[in-house]
Each structure stands twice: as structure tokens, then as C-alpha cells.
Amino acid sequence: MKELSEFLKETEFCDYKNLEIKKIADYYKYEFTDKRELAVKLFEFVRDEIKYKVGPWNKKASTTLRDKAGMCTNSTNLLVALCRAVGIPAGYFIYRVKGGESFGHIIPELIKSPLKKHSVHIICGVYLNHWIKCDPSTDKDLSSKTKHISKITNLVEWNGENDSVHDINPEHIIEIIGPLANIDYQMKKKPRYIVRKYIFRIGNYYIDFLRSEGIKINSHKDIELQFSEWIKDRKKLLFYKYKIMYKFFVIKHNLSYNFKKTWKHVKRKTF
């Protein structure tokens, strides 16, 4: 089937012919001969071995495997590569979501506000007689420390038969695109300066905070204050730099909003 053959090809970022990826793929292919079970085991490998971390998404699958860390795009790309390496067609589903809102209560306003209004969440699609979605992005450790705060970090269990993805509020999903055989064009996009310079750094400190302190947090209402205190003790200069940038962003956002509101009013009156 020509269409499915596209979902077995190597790409620049889905470099499944890499020796380390092949080594993992060959091991699981030898251990599990049933395709459905094999796909599930590869999913569990990525979910459990790749720690969630924010950072540049333009990494090859082999780099994610080497780093043992990555965000949703990286984990999904590695799972696609492993599936293709064992002969199982796999691709990508792109969720266009409402920026920070889609993460729910787990993200404090300090980090959420500077995010773009719309962003993407990329998950894996595996073809086992039909397309099935699965999302390996949240690892066991992070889930165990935070699932009581937000259901979006509940550990995703996948049986190879039904869709199994993170519990994103449907109201925060703008559209779902896929399955796609190649998203190299998406992965080549560079993060904005503010994201590279500040949000990735503060975001990873926040993830470290959740891994070490998350289990002690009783409610999402406590997150903002406790994280602020935690980061000030460790990276005070970074915290205050980010705080200034955050206040600048809020002022800029409010000015932009007021300008648009005024302009709409003027247009209605004029025309």
C-alpha cells in the first residue's frame, strides 16, 4: 500500500537507521513477535526512559535517545522512529491548542502568560489495521509527583487497541491534523528568542521543582507561591530577570488588547 509506505520512510529528524535506535528496535523485535504487543512495549520504553524536559524541539530521534530527555515532539519523534525501525507504520498527529490554557492548572501564571496564544502538541499515531493515537510525553516519575495536582499529567497507559492521549480539555483544542508521515518542516522551526532565553530555562527549573516538591503540594493554588520561593533560593538572578520580563509582557499584552479594542470601536463609528 503506497500511502502507508510513506509512514515507513526515514527522514532527516526521524533517523531510525541510526545504530543506537536500531539496537533498541532489534532487541524489542526479537523479544516480542506480536506487532501490537511490540508497539506497546516500544511506547512504554519511550514513556518510561525519556524524561520530560522543555527545550529545542528540532532534535533528531537519535539525539533524544542519547539525551534521554525531551518534550512531546521529541518523545513522539523517537517513538515514530522505533516503530518504523521494526516495520510498523507510524506518524504524527498535531494538536493545535490554546497555548498555556491547554496545560491546565499545572502551569503557574508566571510561565503561562508569556506563551503564545496558540501552540502545538504533537503525539504519535501507530497503524495497526487502523490509526491509533498514543502520547508518550509524560514520564512515570513526573506523573507520580504531579497527577494529584492536575489530571493532564496522569500516566498514559496504552493497550495498542484504542487511542490513549493526555486529558486535554476539548475546549482548548483548536484542531487535530494527521496522520502526517513527515513533520521535518515543523521541527526545523526555531523557538522565539524569549522562549530560548528564558522560558526553556525557567520551565526546566519548574519541572525540577515538580519532581522534587510536587508530591508535597496539596493544591494547584499553592504552586505559584511555592515555586517562586523555591526558585529564588536557587536561581535568584534568573528569577528576577524573568519576573521583569513577565511584567513587561503583561504590560505589552494589555496595551495591545486596549489598542485593538479601541480600534474596533473607531472602525464601527467611522464606517
| Residue 3 CB partners (closer than 8 Å, separation 6+) | none
Which of 241 and 17 is assigned the larger pLDDT? 17
pTM of structure: 0.84
Please name each of the domains of the chain with its CATH number: 2-189 (3.10.620)
48-85 per-position pLDDT tens digit:
999 999 888 889 999 999 999 999 999 999 999 999 99
206-216 per-position pLDDT tens digit:
899 999 988 88
The Cα-based distances of 95 to 92, 174, 210 in angstroms read 10, 8, 25
SS3 content of the chain, % helix, strand, coil (to 5): 60, 15, 30
